[in-house]
Every structure is written in structure tokens, then in C-alpha cells.
Amino acid sequence: MMKWMECRATRREIDEGGEQLSAPALQHVASCAPCLAFQSERARLRELLTSLEPVTAPADFDFRLRARIAAQTEKPGLRSFFGGFALSTPPMAVAALVIVALGGSIVWIRQRGTKQAPPVAVNSPRQVKEGNSTATDKAAPPIAQTSAPEVTTATTDPTFRPDAPINVMQGRKPQFKDPGATRPATSSRDFNVSPVASIKQGQNPDAVYVSAPVKPMVLSLQDDNGATRRISLPPVSFGSQRLLVGSRVVPVSSTNDRVW
Amino acid sequence: MVRPVSDHALLQGTLAGDHDAFAELVGRYRNQITSYIYRMTNDYDGAVDLAQETFLRVYRAAGRYQTTHAFSTYIYRIATNLAISELRKRKRRRLVSLTGLLTSGEGQEPRDFDAPDERPLQDISLVEAEKRAVIKRAIATLPDKYRAPLVLRDVEGKSYDEIALILQTSEGTVKSRINRARNFLRDKMRNYL
């Protein structure tokens, strides 16, 4: 029993201390064959382990390491901002939902705005000049397509009515507003939804109503002194605001204050 | 006589943005760390990659380094964690493991299937090459918790207390694990002892 305890203590010392053994351990090893074998076995094993060829880092180790460090420090802001956040699934799902909701609300708002002011008639989404303003009609799809060569645009004037007679007032110009000056050219109003007020023949004694000529027409006017003026009227299309604003439709005045 | 700059001073310089200080640190430890991880993983390319990852972590965490322990302990701890993590990944990737087949008893560590080579010895050079291959294979088949202390002690030459600090365990546990690892290797390499 005593010898077994000595063997155990000696072997522990051999295992931990290597070749530097205490005097009692050396004395025991000299007298105990199994412990001597154990010592030589451990020494041989240690020798085998230390006989492994040295391993060195490759020559480009520093270069590759610098490249990796540079690659990681290129986007410090992004990394620090997202950190572990970007890789986790729930925040990614929340972010995706927010983006989808945002996009959906934008589309809904746009569609809502389009429903409020649909165009009356549009030939094509090409650019249409109105007065000094230029607008491109892209957002609103055309409701009615016409094959006429003239450009037909939607009007922005709520008082404008295509089939209404021209209001010819003494000393006054036609009551057509410049749409480009008041609101964006792309906005339009559907008069089928909200009818406009119109002045009919006979309601205003100072006004003379003339139907819009489809063909060139000559209008004769006679003043109180019997003098006669003849005015040539070109065809007028109420489908084009440009034609109206472009002074092709002129007021017919009984005061002869304009040279024809 | 110029006194060499300590690892702590070099790390402080790294923290202050001195790239030369970090290069000096890398130069001091790159071979040791690469060799240690190679002995742990038995894969040179993977060891180089993990050694670079070790230095990357040192660089990134330079501000969190505490000078209560030696820098070598600190960097070896990082390398050990990376190596053990890599070994665990490999185990998960293994389709069929022979570990469970060779469990000799309840509570004992499972052992991989690696039968001792009983063939007769040949030329000396071939014997030496074969011997080294056997040692590497034997180390590679050690259980993770035995492999790290054995390599640190018998290959890297670390002291028991330093190994205990690196592995964050007690010195007694380190000694016990090293003893078991040596017994394991003795059985594996009986023909060469």
C-alpha cells in the first residue's frame, strides 16, 4: 500500500515536472521498475511531441491581415449602426413591413389624388404647353382617346364648359383664366361631376351670344349710327385650352375698340 | 542597450492608431498562434485564417484589453476559443461519427475510431515522416478539452498556471487533463515509444 502511494506521487511528479524530480522521487524511480518505465515512456512521448516540425505563418500573412483590417474598417458607420441588428430576423421583418406600408400609403395617396381630378380628354401623355407653363401629363391615364389631330387637353377652369356659348361682353375680355397661372397644368376637373354655371341667351341684355363656328364665319355688326363692321371668325375648338388662350378666339365687341 | 517594448505598450500604441505597433505585435505572435491553431485543427490553411481572425479580434478589441494578465495569455485565449469553435463546427458537419461506437464506459470521454498502425517499420526517413503523421493524427483525435492543454504544454511549452489562465480553468484540472491526454497518446503511438 505504501509502495503504491509512493508510485502514484512519483508518477504525478514525473508527469508535472518532467525531468526535474525531487530527491525522494529519484530514489523511488531508481528502485521501482514500473515507475522507471513510466518515466522513460513520458520522456519519449515528450520527445515525439517536440519533434514535430515547426509551423510558421505564410510570407503574406501581414499583407492579408492588413487587407482584412482595411476591408473591415471601410464601412465602420454601417457596421456600427446595424451591428448585430441587421442579421437578426425580427427587426428585418419589421423593417420590411414598414417599407411595404410606406410604399402602399404613397401609392394610395397618389391614386386618391388622381380620382379627385381625372382628366377629361387626353390624346397622349406628351408635353402640352399652356401659356408660359409646360406640363407633362403622365400620372393620369387618358379617359377618352380622340383621333383628331389637334391637341386636346383638360381644362382647369371650373367655369369652363366646352359646349357653352362664348360670352361676348362690351369692353370686356372673355372670362377664361390662364390655367398655367393659377394651378398646375396637370390638374383637371370633370364637369360631368360638378356642372358649371352658364349664361344663356337673353339673360344679359348687354351681351350678344354667338355660337362657336365650326367653319370660318363672317359676322356683321351694326352700331347705332348705322355703320357696319364685318368680322371674320375662325373655327373655334373648345377642346383646346391652348387655342383659347392663344388669342385665336377673340372677343366680339360692339365698341369697335379693336382693329380686325 | 535598447529595452524591447512590452506587449502592453504595443497594444496601447495600437489603440492610439500606431500601425507600426500593431505590426510589431503581429510579428511577435503570428508564428506561435499559427502553429498552435494548426496543432489544434490539423489544417494549415484554416489555421492561417483563424490566426488572422485572432489578430483581427485583438485589433478590434484593443480598447477592452485589461492589463491584469499577460498579452500572450490574452491572445492564446482568443486563439483557443476560435480553434475549439472550428472543431465544433467540423463535428456538426460530420455525417457519420464513429465517436459513439468507441465509448468504453459510462462517464468516459468518447474516442474517435483510429486504430493503431501495426505494419512493420520501413526506411528511416519514411519512419520519421510516418511518425510525425501519426503524432498529428493522434493529437487530432484527442477530445477538444484534452487537446488544448496538451498542445499548450508539450508543444508550445506553456506553464500550468498560464494554461489555466488561457483555458479559464483551475490548475488542477489542467494537470489532470494533460495526464489523460498523454495516456491517450501513449495508447495511440505505442509502436513509437
* pLDDT score of B111 more than 90: no
The tens digit of pLDDT for each residue in A25-60 reads 888 888 888 888 888 888 888 888 888 888 899 998
* pLDDT score of B179 more than 60: yes
Closest CB to B34: pick one of A12, A16, A55.
A55
pLDDT on residue A153: 41
pLDDT on residue B114: 62
Q: What is the pTM of this model?
A: 0.53
pLDDT on residue B7: 87
Do B48 and A58 form a contact (C-beta atoms < 8 A)?
A: yes
Rg of chain A over CA atoms, in angstroms? Answer: 49
Average pLDDT of chain B to the nearest whole number: 82
For residue A58, the chain B residues in CB contact (below 8 A) are 48
The angle at the Cα of B92, spanning B60 to B40, to the nearest 5 degrees, equals: 55
pLDDT band at A187 (very low <50, low <70, confident <90, very high): low
Cβ neighbours for B55, distance < 8 A, ≥ 6 positions apart: A65, B25, B26, B29, B30, B33
Between the ranges A215-229, B54-68, B123-137, where is the mean pLDDT highest? B54-68
Q: Does A3 contact B at CB distance below 8 Å?
A: no
Place of cell 420590411: A96
The tens digit of pLDDT for each residue in B129-152 reads 887 888 888 888 888 889 999 999
pLDDT band at B173 (very low <50, low <70, confident <90, very high): very high
Question: How much is the ipTM here?
Answer: 0.73
Do A221 and A228 form a contact (C-beta atoms < 8 A)?
A: yes
pLDDT on residue B46: 92
User: Could you tell me what percent of chain A has a pLDDT over 90?
Assistant: 5
Q: Does B70 contact A at CB distance below 8 Å?
A: no
Query: How is B104-128 classified by DSSP, letter by letter?
Result: -STTSPP--------SPP--HHHHH
The tens digit of pLDDT for each residue in A96-147 reads 899 999 999 999 988 887 655 444 444 444 444 444 444 444 433 334 444 4
For residue B135, the chain A residues in CB contact (below 8 A) are 48-49, 51-52
* pLDDT score of B108 more than 70: no
User: Could you tell me what percent of chain B has a pLDDT over 70?
Assistant: 81
Q: Does B132 contact A at CB distance below 8 Å?
A: yes
- Chain A closest-CA separation from residue B119 CA (Å): 19
- CA–CA gap between residue A11 and residue A48 (Å, rounded): 19
Q: Does A223 contact B at CB distance below 8 Å?
A: no
Cβ neighbours for A192, distance < 8 A, ≥ 6 positions apart: none
Q: Does A194 contact B at CB distance below 8 Å?
A: no
pLDDT on residue A131: 43
Q: Does B155 contact A at CB distance below 8 Å?
A: yes
pLDDT on residue B117: 65
CB-CB under 8 Å, B136 with A52: yes
Average pLDDT of chain A to the nearest whole number: 66
For residue A57, the chain B residues in CB contact (below 8 A) are 30-31, 33-34, 48, 51
